[in-house]
Amino acid sequence: MKILALNKKAKLDYHILKNYEAGLVLFGPEVKSAKLDQISLKGSYVTLKNSELWLLNCHISPYKKAHQIKYEPTRSRKLLLHRKEIDSLLGKLKQGLTLIPLRVYTKKGLIKLEIGLCRGKRKYEKRELIKKQEAGRQIQRALREKP
């Protein structure tokens, strides 16, 4: 499994409650470009339209060697999940939770997207997390300095 893109801010901004694996509907040049790590999840999100899940604002750079098919890099892309999973997500989205893309990776030659069912963190929770991380870094530095 090769990881093609990560959403680094997701763990800082959200409590991830549950993860789902979804397939992505892509054009041929988009697949080649994504496999060359030219994909970014920064600012992207998942929404529900007509009982289907869509990935919005995910940027896949145009493939340089493609001549005929031109596409918009930030177009909406359909996600493939089982109907039961979509129905359960629909109920949870009505409760105020959100779907955030966490990472894009390859699995058996196919491009998959891991989405997380999340609840947003408050500002003070983010500050506490940053303080804990900084304290851990200082401890590691102190241990490295003492031979």
Query: How confident is the model over 105-126, as pLDDT tens digits?
Result: 999 989 999 999 999 888 888 8
Helix (H) or strand (E) holding 37: none
β-strands 45-49, 52-56 pairing: antiparallel
Question: For residue 71, which of 11, 16, 130, 31 has the smallest C-alpha distance?
Answer: 31
CATH pick for 3-121 out of 3.40.50.150, 2.40.50.100, 3.40.50.1110, 2.40.280.10: 2.40.280.10
3-class secondary-structure state, position 77 = strand
Joined tokens for residue 87: 């129905």
Domain boundaries of the chain, sorted by first residue: 3-121
Q: What is the dihedral of CA 26, 77, 101, 81, to 10 degrees?
A: -80
3-class secondary-structure state, position 132 = helix
**Is this structure's pTM higher than 0.85?**
no
- Whether 67 shows a pLDDT value over 80: the answer reads no
C-alpha separations of 101 from 27, 124, 144 in Å? 19, 24, 36
Joined tokens for residue 55: 């990935």
pLDDT bin (cut points 50, 70, 90) of residue 29 is: confident
The rounded distance, in Å, linking the Cα atoms of 62 and 49 is 26
- Whether 147 shows a pLDDT value over 70: the answer reads no
